[in-house]
Amino acid sequence: MLYIMRHGKTDWNADRRLQGSEDIPLNEEGRQMARDARKKYGDLRFDICYCSPLQRAQETAEIFLEGSGTPILTDDRLREMGFGMYEGTEHVTQKPECPVYTLFHDPVHYHAVDGAESLEHLYARSGSFIHDVLTPEFVSGKNVLIVAHGALDCSLICQYEEIPLEHFWDQLLGNCELRRLVSSANVRKQILQNVICKFYRMHTNECGAVFLLFFAGNLRIHDQCFCHNDHLFSEKAFMPLRHTDSHA
């Protein structure tokens, strides 16, 4: 399973200042939030945690996972979205004259200026993290925790669950809120392809001849498929296409 969390509160959160790539630490309320989250979600176990390199996310992960033995790895692709010269601006959602205002009210039409990061670039780096890290970890059957930031988390959720950009901020997590990611059909297809490739490589003889063949169109997937300990499962299983379905 894949889980995602936003960091605890900082003084800049409290002041409604735009943080972005600024490396702002947790305040004491934020640290207590992480401790409270540890108690609230204490029944969950994680095999690995991937975390933003910014200290507010790292400290959240360290407090939340304290005593669990879960390894924490940082990945630069999990940094918060950059807002350029507007980082540090207070109450930006109430200032129409600020270019970043559009990001929060109409993300579809947001255009980054003055050193700010575009949504296209944000999606590219978080999307590469999904492809390079999350998908292989999911295939291996691990429980994975991601600890990052507001906009970054939204970009991961929207891509992983195929949520339109106009609903970007509807996915915003509260500080230290935990959410389980539910993969979209396309992500499940990508995961399945990875599993098939892995299984394909495992089933060869000494000469490299393949015994297992997958014919296009011969199988279809019903409901959500998932992997655990190198085995593929499905709530309704794989079902062969009937001849009457072949042109549907």
Distance CA 184, CA 101 (A): 30
Paired tokens of 89? 């601006």
Q: Catalytic pick from 80, 87, 117, 149?
A: 80
For the question of residue 87 being annotated catalytic, the response is no
Q: Which residues pair with 227 in a beta bridge?
A: 232
Burial of 184 (0-12, 13-18, 19+ CB in 10 A): middle
Distance CA 224, CA 216 (A): 20
Question: For residue 56, which phi and psi values (nearest 5 degrees)?
Answer: -65, -30
Distance CA 19, CA 167 (A): 22
Q: Catalytic pick from 7, 59, 87, 117?
A: 7
Are the C-beta atoms of residues 150 and 177 closer than 8 Å to each other? no
Question: For residue 66, which phi and psi values (nearest 5 degrees)?
Answer: -55, 130
For the question of residue 111 being annotated catalytic, the response is no
Catalytic residue list? 7, 80
